[in-house]
Chain A
Amino acid sequence: MRVAGLTLGADFIAWLAQTFALVRKEILALVKDPANRTILFAPALMQALLFGYGATYDLTHVPYAVVDQSRSAASTELLARLDGTGVFRREAALASNAQIGDLIDSGKVLLAISIPSDFEHRLTVGDTAPIQIILDGRNSSTAGAAAGQIGAIVADYGRSLGGSPPITVERRAWYNPNLESRWTLMPAMIAALSFLQTLLLSALSVAREREQGTFDQLLVTPLGLMQILIGKAIPSILVGLIQSTIILLIIRFWFEIPMNGSYWLLYLGLVTFTAAGVGIGMSISALSLTMQQAMLYTFLLVMPLMLLSGMLTPVRNMPQILQLITYVNPLRFGIDMVRRIYLEGAVFADVALDFVPMLVVAAITLPLAAWLFRNRLA
C-alpha cells in the first residue's frame, strides 16, 4: 500500500512538473514579446484612469440661461441659491424667451429658466408662483438629473419662505453616501476591464499555436489534454488577476473609494470569475482555426456580454427576456460580486449565489475546451 501511494505521489509530481514546463513556456512567450508587454498592462491602467474620470453620471457643470422678467429680490435670491451649488453656471441672461432656442440648439446651455414678472408679487400674496424651465433632452439622463436638482433647490427655497410641507424625507444612502456614480462604476471595472483582455488572451492561446503550426508539436508530446488546458489557462488567469489588481489599486488609492469587504473573498471571487472567462476564451480558441477568427469571435461575444452585464445600466431595467439571458453571463455576476464585496462589505453568504453561475460556466467551458483541442480537426 505504501509503495503504491509513493508511486502515485511521484507520478503526480511528474505530472505537475510537466504542466509547470508548459506554464513557464506560456509565460515566457507572453512576456518576451515587447508589444505584448505593454498591451497586457498599459491599457488596464489607462482605461481605469480615463473611465474613472470620464464615466460619470454626476452633474458637475450645468450651463444655463435665465430670462428673469421679475428682477426682484426673490428671483435674485433663488438664482443665487442655484449658482451657489457650484454646479449650475449662468451663461447668459436673456431679455425674452424667444432667445432661448438658439442657445439650447447649439448646446451652449443645457437649460433655461424663465421667471415671470409677477413672481415676487404672487409669492407675497400667497399665490402659487410658477417658474418655467426648458431642458435640452438630447441626453435625457442629464436633463432629468438637472431638473431634479433644480426642483430640490426650488423646494428648499420655498420652504425657507415659510409654509413648509408637513412631511420631510430624510435620505440616507448606504455604501455610497453622496451617491457618486463613480463609486458604482469603478468597482465594476475591476471585473469588466480585465474580462476583455483575459478572454482575448486565452482565445488567442491555442489559435496562435494552430496558426503558427506549433500546436501539433505540442500534441505529440505526452502532455495530456488536462495539462495543456491548465498550462494555457494559468497564464491567462494570472494576467487577468494582475489587471484586476492594477484597477483595484487605482480605485482604492487614486480615487479613494473605500473598500468595505474582505480582500480574500474578493480574490476568491475574481479567480472564479476569471476562470469562467478563460474557459469561454479557450473554447473560442479551440474552435478557431486562425488568430483572426479567434479575435473576431471573442469580440462578437464580448460586446453583448458587456452590454448585458449591468455595468452601465442596471439589469433590472432590461426586458424580461434579456434578463433571462444574463444568467449565463459570468460578467454580470462578476460585477455584482465585486460591487457587493467592495462597496457593501458583503460576506461569503451574501455573494454565494453569484459564485454559482460563474462556477457553472467554468465547469462547462473548461472541459469543453479540452475536448475541443483534440476533436476539432486541424
Chain B
Amino acid sequence: MLLLREHENEPAQAADDANTNKEDGDRYGTAETASPSAGERDGPVIVVRDLVRKFGDFTAVASTSFDVQRGEIFGLLGPNGAGKTTTFRMLCGLLPATSGHLEVAGVDLRTARAKARARIGYVSQKFALYGNLSVRENLEFFAGAYGLRGERKRERVKAVIAQFDLDASAQSGILPVGYKQRLAMAAGLLHEPDILFLDEPTSGIDPLARRAFWRTITSLAQGGVTIIITTHFMEEAEYCDRIAIQDAGELLALGTPAEVREQAGDDASDMNEAFIAIVEQNRARQTNEKVAA
C-alpha cells in the first residue's frame, strides 16, 4: 500500500523537481552565457507540462515537465528506448501527445501546428533529404516549403551554401556522411528558425567534423537560437547549457551538466559515469519496487 502511494506521488514530485531545476537553469543561463540576446529574454520558448505519451498499454513518456529558455542549448539524453525520441518527436509536432501541455515558440502545437512549425528547424538522425535531387534543388524546395520567395529565397539559399561550404550542384544522395549532415543543417536553418531540433546529429561523423558542428551550434545559440539536441555522446552533453536524462519514459535528472554530475553522487567524475549512475540507480529502485510488490 505504502509503495503504491509513493508511486502515485511520483508525477507531482517530478513536476516539483522540474520547477526547481528550471529556476536553477535560469540562474545558470544568466550567469554563464553572456550572449547579447540574454538581456532580452522574454520567458521560456518551450514549455512542457505533464507530457504523457502512450502506445497502447505501453507508456513511452510518463508525465514529464520542463522549460527551455531562449538561446539555450538543451540536451535530451537517455539510453535507447528511454523515450527521448518520443519526447523529441512530440516537441517537433511529429507525434501528438496523449495528454499534457506543450508550448513551442509561444503556440500550442496541438492547436496551431503549422504556425509553430514555421518557427522551428529540424535535422533528423538519418539523412532525410531527397537523395536524387542536387544540393541546390533540396535547399530550394525547403526554402519554398518554409514560405521563402523571390529575392529572400535566393539570398538565403546562397547564404547557407556559403555558410556550410556546400557544392550546389552535387547530388545529395551520394555525398559523404559529414557533408550530408552539413546539408541537413543548412536545410534546417534556411528560414532562420527560433528553435532548432537536432536528433543525434553527430552519430556517424568524425571527431573533426563533430567539433566544427558544435562550434556552429554554440554560435547559433549565442545568436539567440534555441537548440534542442538528442545525443548519446556523453562528452557532448558537457557542451549543453542544460540536460535532461530520461529512462523508461521518466525524467530522471534535469539541470546543468554540473548539477547532474552532482546528483549522480561523488564517484561520478565525468558525464559518462554520472549518466550510468543515474540510470542504474533508477533501475535498481524500480526492480526493488517490483520485488516488493
Contact = CB atoms under 8 A, between A and B. Distances in A.
CB–CB under 8 A between A and B in the complex? yes
Given A22-B144, A220-B94, 18 more contacts: A14-B147, A17-B144, A17-B149, A18-B144, A18-B147, A21-B143, A21-B144, A22-B141, A25-B133, A25-B141, A25-B144, A28-B133, A214-B128, A216-B128, A217-B187, A220-B120, A222-B145, A224-B114
B209 to A, nearest CB: 21
Interface residues of B, number: 33
Given A220-B92, A220-B93, A220-B94, A32 B133 contact: yes
Contacts of A212: 128, 131
* Residue among A24, A219, A378 with most chain B CB within 10 A: A219
Contacts of B114: 222-224
B94 A378 contact: yes
Interface string B130-155: 11110001001111111101000000
Interface in A200-256: 212-214, 216-224
B137 A25 contact: yes
Contacts of B137: 25, 28
Given A21-B140, A216-B94, A222 B128 contact: no
Contacts of A378: 94-95
A227 to B, nearest CB: 9
B132 A217 contact: no
B124 interface: yes
B118 interface: yes
B133 A221 contact: no
A214 B130 contact: yes
B41 interface: no
Contacts of A33: 132
Contacts of B117: 220-222
A20 interface: yes
B133 A21 contact: no
* Residue among B55, B95, B143 with most chain A CB within 10 A: B95
B285 interface: no
Contact of A22 (B95, B133, B145, B187): B145
Contact of B124 (A216, A221, A222, A223): A216
Contacts of B55: 377
Interface in A97-121: none
Contacts of A32: 132-133
Task: Give chain A's interface residue range (CB within 8 Å of chain B).
Answer: 20 to 34
Contacts of B264: none
B56 to A, nearest CB: 11
A377 B98 CA distance: 13
Contact of B145 (A213, A216, A218): A218
A28 B124 CA distance: 23
A174 B95 CA distance: 60
A17 B124 CA distance: 25
Nearest to A30: B132
Interface string A247-275: 00000000000000000000000000000
Interface in B112-129: 114-115, 117-118, 120, 122, 124, 126-129
A17 B130 contact: no
Contacts of B187: 217
19 contacts: A14-B149, A17-B149, A18-B147, A21-B143, A25-B133, A25-B141, A32-B133, A213-B127, A213-B128, A214-B130, A216-B89, A216-B94, A219-B93, A220-B94, A220-B197, A221-B142, A222-B117, A222-B146, A223-B114
A29 interface: yes
A222 B130 contact: no
A97 B283 CA distance: 93
A33 B126 CA distance: 22
A17 B132 contact: no
Contacts of B142: 221
A371 B55 CA distance: 20
